[in-house]
């Protein structure tokens, strides 16, 4: 019996560990900044919306950067998801020369840290005259190797008999994709949506290098620089990912597990 | 004929994605390999392996390699073991809220939560130390920085790995556990002797994903330190970033080339090991 309690304590401990910094950020945003910024205080601060007022009403750049983040994240998703689905269908349900080599290449690209592909990406963006344009932080991520990989892992699990039966009925490869594969992939798409969203929502590396015009930067780069309203700024930035997490939790879990089964 | 047509259709489906990949990563990568064998900006000279020899003689590079290896070498096994143990502990119950809590960090942008961490360490942690009459610690300074960012890696990735391990465990038939119970009551033994071998293929995948995620620690470090990164956590990513800003593409490309080769070999070995394991099963 005692063992069970210890196990529960450990699980509780790690759960708290995971939530604590988030709880601190959110709760600190409801006090005046002066109360939370100075040294350790164990006295109870006073509830206040001062930080939110400051950031929403008196920091016009904040909303601009926030809007940049929204634009960049959703543009990336709108391109990445259809492309990933198509590529995955090709990888999982067709045989063609060099298929496995190309897929292996995708895995390598997927695992590459951004800095390793920095020079190549920079060269291309320069040639295409995209540097310092918002597209510079959308396009390279829109062709997502991870997306194609995750969807392929998922589609490999889709029963081939179903596809063969549809072929017997005279369906073309294209309509099989639209009417069978895409609807069946819904949970995986939801999961990919969430994973890609959070990836571009918290992006720091690319905008730092590819954009020099500060008005085009997403909020993720600038958040730390708005000192006096840090906590409120962070809390507002967290609303969208948290909402998506609340709504998509089941799909996210299903997608992560489906994506990892060989 | 039929199969040839099928091959073309398959290729057509991957083409849009592949084109983007070729344009943004693969083709320019091979172009940048050219940099690795040359030196100079206005007068470009072919130097063979000169850049690589320079790299290994460069103390900043060796420091970055050392730190990256320490970080991944400790961080990845640590998060792996914690997540695996938690998955075992939660194996026979639902723990809805705990699972939800564990996965939350995955969705939290680092820019948001960094202030929460600073508060935890600098104000709360040191506040408690002070009340106890102990000396305060500069958690984010040179000495403890590595430990702090390893902890952040663990924080970020526990949930993802728990989901992967849980799904691997859930595929194992319940009867195994019932049969094993006849032999032994030990949950730990059941975990290590029955479950662990069965989920090994997933473990390979989990390790690769964790290594990939560990390179993203750049974000945490940037949010914490901006441009002034302590020496003890100066990583390959910083080395490459700085050389880019100094327009030293040759040095950067050489480092990127080395890193790519290492990752390539690593994945190759993992895939071979996994295939071998699967065929032995």
Residue-wise pLDDT tens digits, B145-168:
999 999 999 999 999 999 999 988
In this predicted structure, the answer to whether residue A56 has a pLDDT above a threshold of 60 is yes
How far CA B212 is from CA of A66, B74, B134, B136, B267, in Å, comes to 28, 14, 39, 35, 11
Assess contact for A171 and A132: CB atoms under 8 A. Answer: no
Length of chain B: 281
Assess contact for B150 and A60: CB atoms under 8 A. Answer: no
A240 vs B: CB within 8 A = no
Look at residue A45 in the predicted model and tell me its pLDDT.
63
A87 vs B: CB within 8 A = yes
Contact assignment for B244 to A119 by CB distance below 8 Å: yes
B22 vs A: CB within 8 A = no
Mean pLDDT of B214-225: 89
Q: Is residue A91 in some structural domain?
A: yes
d(C-alpha A223, C-alpha A231), whole Å: 10
Task: For residue B108, give both structure tokens.
Answer: 């939290």
Assess contact for A31 and A47: CB atoms under 8 A. Answer: yes
In this predicted structure, the answer to whether residue B260 has a pLDDT above a threshold of 80 is yes
In this predicted structure, the answer to whether residue B246 has a pLDDT above a threshold of 60 is yes
Report helix, strand or coil for B95.
Answer: coil
Q: Is residue A20 in some structural domain?
A: no
Out of A22, A112, A224, the one facing B223 most closely (by C-beta) is: A224
d(C-alpha B154, C-alpha B85), whole Å: 13
B117 vs A: CB within 8 A = yes
Residue-wise pLDDT tens digits, B226-237:
888 999 999 999
Which range of residues forms the domain containing residue A254?
60-260
Assess contact for B79 and B157: CB atoms under 8 A. Answer: yes
More confident: B48 or A237: A237
Considering Cα of A155, then A159, then A164, then A170, what sign does the dihedral take? Answer: negative
Domain ranges of chain B: 1-27, 59-280
Q: Is residue A99 in some structural domain?
A: yes
Assess contact for B28 and A140: CB atoms under 8 A. Answer: no
**Residue from B208, B176, B182, B190 nearest B273 by CA:** B208
d(C-alpha B83, C-alpha A16), whole Å: 15
* Domain CATH code at residue A161: 1.10.3720.10
The answer for residues whose C-beta is within 8 angstroms of residue B263's C-beta and 6 or more apart is A108, A111, A112, A116
Mean pLDDT of A24-44: 70
Report helix, strand or coil for A144.
Answer: coil
In this predicted structure, the answer to whether residue A39 has a pLDDT above a threshold of 50 is no
Residue-wise pLDDT tens digits, A171-226:
899 999 999 999 999 888 998 999 999 999 989 888 988 998 888 889 888 776 66
Task: For residue B59, give both structure tokens.
Answer: 């103390």
Assess contact for B255 and B243: CB atoms under 8 A. Answer: yes
The proportion of chain B whose per-residue pLDDT surpasses 90, expressed as a percent, equals 35
In CATH, the number for domain B59-280 is 1.10.3720.10
Q: Indicate the number of domains in chain A.
A: 1
Please report which confidence band the pLDDT of residue A40 belongs to, taking 50, 70 and 90 as the band edges.
Answer: very low
In this predicted structure, the answer to whether residue A227 has a pLDDT above a threshold of 60 is no
Q: From its phi and psi, is residue A112 left (phi > 0), alpha (psi between -120 and 50) or beta?
A: beta
Q: What is the mean pLDDT of chain B?
A: 87
Residue with tokens 């502990």: B89
Q: How far is A67 from chain B (nearest CA, A)?
A: 16
Q: Is residue A212 in some structural domain?
A: yes
The answer for residues whose C-beta is within 8 angstroms of residue A45's C-beta and 6 or more apart is A31, A32, A35, A36
d(C-alpha B220, C-alpha B218), whole Å: 6
Length of chain A: 262
Model pTM? 0.88
A156 vs B: CB within 8 A = no
d(C-alpha B226, C-alpha B216), whole Å: 15
Residue-wise pLDDT tens digits, B11-27:
999 999 999 999 988 88
Find residues 98-117 of chain A whose CB sits inside 8 Å of chain B. 99, 102, 104-117
CB pairs under 8 A between A and B: 297
**Chain B residue nearest residue A239, CA to CA:** B108
The ipTM of this complex is 0.86
Contact assignment for A204 to B155 by CB distance below 8 Å: no
Assess contact for B117 and A23: CB atoms under 8 A. Answer: no
In this predicted structure, the answer to whether residue A246 has a pLDDT above a threshold of 70 is yes
- Residues of chain A in contact with residue B71, where contact means CB-CB under 8 angstroms, are none
DSSP string over A47-70: B--HHHHHHHHH-HHHHHHHHHHH
């Amino acid at each position: 019996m005692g063992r069970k309690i210890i196990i529960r304590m450990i699980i509780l401990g790690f759960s708290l560990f995971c939530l604590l910094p988030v709880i601190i950020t959110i709760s600190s945003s409801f006090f005046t900044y002066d109360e939370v910024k100075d040294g350790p205080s164990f006295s109870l601060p006073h509830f206040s919306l001062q930080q939110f007022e400051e950031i929403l009403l008196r920091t016009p750049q904040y909303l601009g950067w926030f809007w940049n983040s929204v634009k960049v994240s959703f543009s990336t998703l709108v391109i990445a998801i259809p492309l990933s689905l198509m590529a995955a269908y090709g990888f999982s349900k067709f045989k063609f020369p060099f298929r496995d080599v190309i897929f292996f290449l995708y895995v390598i690209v997927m695992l590459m840290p951004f800095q390793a592909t920095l020079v190549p990406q920079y060269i291309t963006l320069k040639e295409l005259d995209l540097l310092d344009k918002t597209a510079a932080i959308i396009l390279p991520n829109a062709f997502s190797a991870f997306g194609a990989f995750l969807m392929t892992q998922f589609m490999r699990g889709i029963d081939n008999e179903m596809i063969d039966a549809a072929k017997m009925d005279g369906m073309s490869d294209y309509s099989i994709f639209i009417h069978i594969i895409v609807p069946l992939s819904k949970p995986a798409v939801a999961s990919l949506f969430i994973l890609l969203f959070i990836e571009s929502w918290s992006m720091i590396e690319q905008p730092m290098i590819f954009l020099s015009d500060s008005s085009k930067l997403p909020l993720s780069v600038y958040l730390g620089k708005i000192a006096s309203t840090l906590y409120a700024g962070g809390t507002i930035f967290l609303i969208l990912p948290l909402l998506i997490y609340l709504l998509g939790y089941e799909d996210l879990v299903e997608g992560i597990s489906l994506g990892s089964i060989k | 004929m039929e199969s040839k047509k099928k091959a073309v259709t398959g290729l057509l489906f991957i083409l849009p994605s592949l084109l983007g990949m070729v344009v943004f990563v693969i083709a320019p990568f091979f172009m940048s390999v050219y940099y690795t064998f040359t030196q100079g900006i206005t007068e470009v000279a072919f130097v063979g392996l000169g850049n690589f020899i320079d790299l290994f003689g460069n103390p900043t590079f060796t420091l970055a390699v050392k730190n990256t290896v320490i970080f991944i070498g400790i961080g990845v096994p640590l998060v792996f073991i914690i997540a695996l143990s938690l998955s075992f502990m939660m194996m026979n119950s639902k723990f809805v809220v705990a699972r939800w809590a564990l996965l939350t960090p995955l969705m939290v942008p680092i820019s948001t939560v960094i202030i929460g961490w600073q508060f935890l360490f600098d104000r709360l942690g040191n506040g408690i130390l002070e009340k106890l009459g102990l000396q305060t610690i500069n958690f984010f300074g040179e000495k403890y920085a590595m430990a702090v960012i390893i902890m952040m890696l663990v924080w970020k990735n526990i949930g993802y790995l728990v989901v992967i391990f849980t799904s691997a465990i859930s595929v194992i038939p319940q009867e195994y556990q019932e049969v094993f119970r006849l032999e032994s009551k030990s949950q730990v033994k059941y975990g290590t002797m029955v479950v662990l071998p069965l989920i090994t293929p997933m473990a390979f995948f989990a390790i690769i994903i964790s290594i990939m995620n560990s390179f993203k620690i750049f974000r945490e470090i940037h949010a914490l330190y901006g441009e002034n990164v302590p020496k003890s956590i100066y990583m390959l990513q910083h080395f490459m970033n700085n050389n880019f800003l100094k327009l030293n593409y040759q040095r950067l490309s050489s480092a990127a080339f080395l890193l790519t080769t290492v990752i390539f070999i690593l994945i190759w070995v993992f895939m071979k090991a996994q295939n071998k394991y699967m065929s032995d099963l």
